[in-house]
Structure 1
Amino acid sequence: MLATSATFDLPASLFFSVPTRPMAHLGKLFLALATVSLLHAHFNLHLFDRPDAVDSADGSTTRKSLRVGHLPVTCHLTCPVTSWVSQHSSERSEFVSWRYTSWPAMTEDIDAGNLDAAFILAPLAMVMQRQGTPVKIVHLGHRDGTAIVVKKDSPYQTFEDLRGKRLAIPHRYSNQRILIEKLKDEFHFSNSEITLIDYPPPEMPAGLRSGQFEAYIVGEPFAAKAEVDGFGRVLYFTKDIWPNFISCVLVVTERLIERDPDIVRELVQGISASGKWIDEGDQRLMAGLVEENSEDAGHAGATVIPEGFGRSPRMQAALIAARQEYYNQDPELLKFVLTRPIDRVSYSSLDLAEQDFAEIQDYAERLGFFSFRPVTEDDPFGFDDYCDPSFERSGTWELPLESDGDSTAGGPSTDRAEALD
């Protein structure tokens, strides 16, 4: 589902009046229908806005704009951060973080030609390419950031205890499902000894609470949500059972690569720089963020850091993502995800590695992800078919941070240090 939409109603008289001059009225009717079709294409389908030319922040130049699809999950955190950074700098293209609430809505827009860049599940990207949707993975979105959750008062202590139970997964073409299959192998489960249920990630905490299933696996913050609300606990973090776990990747369409490779390169640079800032940055404030007691706290459009919240890059990223136009979530929930523990999710080491995808593809083939077009010697399929790492070799962004003299910059973040203690 798109974050915004517009609809247009035609007056009833347009269809029900009796014309006295048929040809003239038919001409007006066709003109009206054509106008409405164009408006629908522009506002609802966004067919004419990729990439756009928009005014720079100071109005001196025009720059390109590209929408980047994402879900409100911390696996996609670099998307709103990159969007925020691009909006506060006139030196580069603007990347507009475009929120969806489901994978099908996002993939339908890609298939229809309405979206040229998005964060999606890694196996799903591979399946789309194999099915004929011309997309390429150009960068990772994160590492780790997924957990298996059970009820706080349940007796389950290991995966073995879930034998005969129901477990919700976010999508049949997800690495979360692949991880469960790996655990089934390790604990010698047959397919009939655990029931997997496709379930929308935002609804998983409520589903667990109401007894729809005994456990779920999902990307944050929907694992932490059950913890914060007091009825759930983490059985496993993916970082502990599949280190450097990959859930989501950044994909772009091949038509965008052909039409504007420079904006693809710029997007990858921005995602990379945002991830490194989140993981490794100091306490300088990002442009557009102000502390609560600052004289700029009332500035329209500013993101205000509440007193005591912390100003590390992770805390700043949480506040940016929590904004209504991005995730529209409680910043305290995102703070919990990004600090409890600090390595619950990471945004470094995001370059594409063939060995990572070889393991994913091995399981994907075994699970029948490509059953519609099996991989054979005569019809091969591999890393180069769905990945293009060439855009990762082109430098990075300089982020719009306050000057060293304006803050306690240079040392490690106090928020990170406290979280590690």
Structure 2
Amino acid sequence: MLSRLYNRISTGLWIGMLAILWLAIISGLHFWLNFDHDTRKLVRMGYMPVVTNLAAPLLDRACEANRPVRYEALKFSSFAEMGEALRNGQIQAAFIIAPLSIVLHQQGAGVKIVYIGNRHESTLVCRKDLQAKTFRDLARKSIAVPMRYSGHNIATRLLAEQFGLQGPDLNVVEMNPPDMPSALATGALDAYFVGEPFAAKTVRANESNVLCYVEQVWPGFICNLMIVRDELIQNDRETVRDLVHTAARSGIWAKRNTKSASEIASKYWNQPIELVEYAMDTPPGRIVFDQFIPKKEEIQNLADLMVKFKLLESNDITGLVDDSFARSVNLEGITDLRSIFSEQRK
């Protein structure tokens, strides 16, 4: 009898021990699969999936485990959402549409412009059946831009001035870039002005025609730029320096390795590689990768235009531009993707 009781206790003990072990294994797997175990310094970068922000996925992809800082690219569907994330400290850097940086600065968000994204990558397209030849043909047609505070909105108004469209003849609407191609394809939209590859998507589908490239309207056009929080600069200038230098060097690598850069971007953006590669090189040599230094006079001109078109009341940009990091970039020794990181932080 005692033997049977002992065996029952032993069996129960074993079952209990196995249950505890099983729970420990399940808990361990849950922790491992659902929590980030990377102990490196983390800088979160917000971005929209357009060519001007190509540096974001390239930095994320190139961050190997032996580097002291991890740059994590977080994709957003709207610039307004990204701006709020930066303001609230959820991200420390943002590849954001240029005029919005001025708005955030004037609202006291505490940010600095430290880098200019790849230039000349925005396109105005219109429905193919419109057979539009000039901007004048878009009178009273719906034209989408990414947001009120966008260079595309300003460029559209510059075109309207040039072609004499005003009042009800100019119909500009705001729409998030990922929604523009489908809106045009279904007939809900007549035209849109946006960063690539969203314009190329309907062009390649034979649903739209290119009416103009942004550089034809505004040479040196800045679509997106990088802003960082003041506190990151104050507390960790070395990391900001590394971030800006690597972003700038990534553009040079992408220019020399368009196909490889397109492959990486297509995975982060969930877009076909053929579309990204087409947007990167149509027309050939269109994208400008080496004009990344922020210049106060360019940002001032942008602010002046925002006041002119009644997007802002003030053109004050005092303290917004910090070119010190971009001016010290060394563009030598760029070979493979890993080489985009500066020597001091490899």
Range class of TM-score, shorter chain? 0.7 to 0.9
Q: Contact conserved, 2:232 with 2:240, CA < 8 A, in 1?
A: yes
User: Residues 345 and 402 from structure 1, CA distance in 2 versus in 1: closer, same or farther, beyond 3 angstroms?
Assistant: closer
- Paired position in structure 1 for 2:274: 332
Which of 296, 301, 312 aligns to 1:354? It is 296
Give the superposition deviation at 1:244: 1.8
Matching of residue 95 in structure 1 with residue 71 in structure 2: yes
Alignment of 1:183-262 (within 5 A): 183-262=159-238
Residue matched to 2:328: 394
Q: Is the partner of 1:137 in helix, strand or coil?
A: strand
Which residue matches 1:276?
252
The separation in 1 between residues aligned to 2:70 and 2:122, in whole angstroms, is 29
Task: Give the Cα–Cα distance (whole angstroms) in 2 for the partners of residues 121 and 106 of structure 1.
Answer: 10
Aligned residues with identical type, % of pairs: 31
The answer to whether the 8 A contact 2:97-2:151 is kept is yes
Cα distance, 1:259 vs structure 2: 1.5
Specify which of 320, 324, 332 is matched with residue 264 of structure 2.
320
**Could you say which residue in structure 2 is the equivalent of 1:158?**
134
Q: Name the structure 1 match of 2:53.
A: 76
Report the counterpart of residue 85 of structure 2 in structure 1.
109
CA offset at residue 85 of structure 1? Answer: 2.1
- Looking at secondary structure, tell me which structure has more helix per residue: 2
> Partners in 2 of 1:396 and 1:195 — Cα distance?
45
8 Å Cα contact 1:239-1:344 kept in structure 2? no
Partner secondary structure for residue 66 of structure 1: strand
Gaps of 5+ in 1: 1-41, 44-48, 56-62, 282-312, 376-380, 404-421
Which residue pairs with 2:305 in the alignment?
363
- Say if 1:121 and 1:174, in contact at 8 Å, map to a contact too: yes
Where in structure 1 do 4 or more consecutive aligned residues deviate above 6 Å?
Answer: none
CA distance in 2, matches of 1:333, 1:204: 16
Counterparts of 1:351 and 1:70 in 2: how far apart (Å)? 19
Q: How many Å apart are 1:393 and its aligned residue?
A: 3.0
Let me know the Cα RMSD of the aligned residues. Answer: 2.3
For the 8 Å contact 1:163–1:194, the answer to whether it is kept is yes
2:2 maps to 1:67: no
Q: What is the SS of the residue equivalent to 1:144?
A: coil
Q: Report the CA distance between 1:402 and its aligned residue.
A: 8.7
**Contact (CA 8 Å) 2:62, 2:337: kept in 1 or not?**
no
Contact 2:248 2:329 (8 Å CA) reproduced: no
Deviation, structure 1 residue 400: 6.2
Matched, 1:118 2:53: no
Q: Secondary structure at the match of 2:115?
A: strand
CA contact (8 A) 2:96 2:224 kept: yes
**TM-score normalized by structure 1?**
0.68
> CA separation in 1, counterparts of 2:51 and 2:105?
25
Quote how far apart the aligned CAs of 1:92 are: 5.2
| TM-score (ref. length: structure 2) | 0.82
| Matched residue, 2:31 | none
Please name the residue that 2:104 is paired with: 128
Q: 1:245 is matched by which residue type in structure 2?
A: F
Helix, strand or coil for the counterpart of 1:143?
coil
Q: CA 1:277/1:92 → structure 2, altered by over 3 Å: closer, same or farther?
A: farther
Is contact 1:270–1:396 with CA below 8 Å preserved after alignment? no
Higher relative contact order (CA 8 A, sep 6+): 2
Q: CA deviation at 1:200?
A: 1.3
Secondary structure of 1:95 counterpart: strand
| Distance in 2 separating the partners of 1:401 and 1:200 | 34
Q: 1:90, CA displacement in angstroms?
A: 3.1
- Mapped to 2, the partners of 1:362 and 1:193 lie a distance apart of 24
Whether contact under 8 Å (1:139, 1:249) holds in the other structure is yes
Counterpart CA distance in 2 for 1:189 and 1:395 is 43
| Structure 2 unaligned residues grouped into runs of 5+ | 1-33, 339-346
Please report how far the alpha carbon of residue 91 of structure 1 lies from its aligned counterpart in structure 2 after TM superposition.
Answer: 4.7
